[in-house]
Structure formats: structure tokens, C-alpha cells
Amino acid sequence: MKDFRAQLAAGLKGEDLVKAWLRHDGHLVVSDFGAMKPYLGPRVYGPSDMIIQPDLLAIKEEDTPPKFWVEVKSKSVFSWHRITAKWTTGVDVSKYDQYLEIINQTGWDVLIVFLHFDERSARYGDAPWPCPTGLFWQWLDKLETQENHRWGNMVYWAHDTLNKDASIEGLIRIKQEQDEEDRAALITERTPVQPEVGPQLDLW
């Protein structure tokens, strides 16, 4: 359970960084879907079934698409795939299938966002380190046609099929700036409004 809690905490931190990235780009972000049941994660409930839901919903009416799901995957390093000589990253196949299904059910595309924090790992001794780091994204309907390989219960994509949009350091700066703005807005919201004092009349 300790490892799972650590993974959950890391995932929530990643979601916060991606939320900041989306807000910085002008999106309204709906989150905390699974806040009441954090070990289950968010779900979409249909008349007779239940679908695993992506982490966030982003809305920006002037964009195309104006509304889309966002799934965040926080990882340490890319995996080196020796057969194709590619840095790769991936998701669990069962969740991948659920995300495809939610597109069918809602008509809203899913943006997969990978956060990779570290350049090196002792796990792949013969890999050509350093590996890429930062925020990488791609639409799920495109990833569906660009799989690099599958292994066990995972599906992987090469990093060159993803778009890199920000460094981890850049994301942290954006998050810190937004935290300051949010705190300032909260202070303003909680500051009581002093009643206006009208002219004092001397009645005597």
C-alpha cells in the first residue's frame, strides 16, 4: 500500500502540473472527479455500464476541439526499446481501451499527456542515456494508429510520435505563478467589504 500511495501522490502532482499548463493556455479545467474515492479513480456511469474516465476535462470554446478529456501519466524515465531503437512510453492496455470507449460514448477526444521527470535510470544499463524529459502529448485517435509495440498488459509509443510542449522546470514555474495568483484571489474573496459610510448629519 505504501508504494501505491507514493504513486498516487506522484500522479496527483503530475495532474497539478498539467492543470497549470492547460490553464496557462487559457483552458477552463474541470478536475477532482475521483476526490471522494481516490483509490478507485474517476468513472463515467452509463445506464448499464461504467467506464474509466480520464483525469481532467479541458474547455476552451474558441479552440478546436472546444472540449476534450485529458489523461495524465507521470513517469520517471522513458523505456528504451532495443528492437526498434526507440525511447518509448505507454499506458495500461485495459485503460487504453476504456479511453477509446469514452471517445465513442461522449464524442470528446482524449489528450494523453506524459510527464517524464528523469534523464537516467540504472534499469536499462545499455540504453543511450540521457533520455528525453518534459511534458509530451498527443491525441488518442492519432496514437491509435501509431503504436510502437505492446508488451504484457502495456501499449507503447515512440517519443518521436509525441509533441513536446514544456520542460519540467517550466511547468513548475507556471504552477508556482498560478498558485500565487490563486492565493491572492482567495485573499481578495475572503476580505470583508467595508460598508460605505454616508455623510454624517448634525441633527442637534
Q: What is the pLDDT of residue 12?
A: 56
Average pLDDT over residues 39-49: 74
Burial 9-35 (b: 16+ CB within 10 A, else e): eebeebbbbbbbbbbbeebebebebee
Instruction: Note whether 50 and 41 are within 8 A (CB).
Output: no
- 123 pLDDT band (50/70/90 cuts)? confident
| Average of per-residue pLDDT values in the chain | 86
Nearest alpha-carbon partner for 52 in 116, 2, 15, 100: 100
Q: What percent of the chain has pLDDT over 70?
A: 82
Which pLDDT does position 83 carry in this prediction?
Answer: 96
Instruction: Give the C-alpha separation, 100 to 90, whole Å.
Output: 15
- Of 197 and 51, more confident: 51
pLDDT tens, 154-202?
Answer: 999 999 999 999 999 999 999 999 999 999 988 876 666 666 655 555 5
- Beta carbons within 10 angstroms of residue 178's beta carbon: 16
Residue carrying C-alpha cell 520517471: 76
The rounded distance, in Å, linking the Cα atoms of 90 and 2 is 23
Q: Is the pLDDT reported for residue 101 higher than 70?
A: yes
**What local confidence, expressed as pLDDT, does residue 7 receive?**
45
DSSP states along 2-60: HHHHHHHHHHHHHHHHHHHHHHHTT-EEE--TTTTSTTT--EEE-SS-EEEPPSEEEE-
Nearest to 117 by CA among 166, 53, 57, 178: 166
Which pTM does this prediction carry? 0.84
Chain Cα centroid distance, residue 46: 24
All structural domains of the chain: 2-189 (3.40.1350.10)
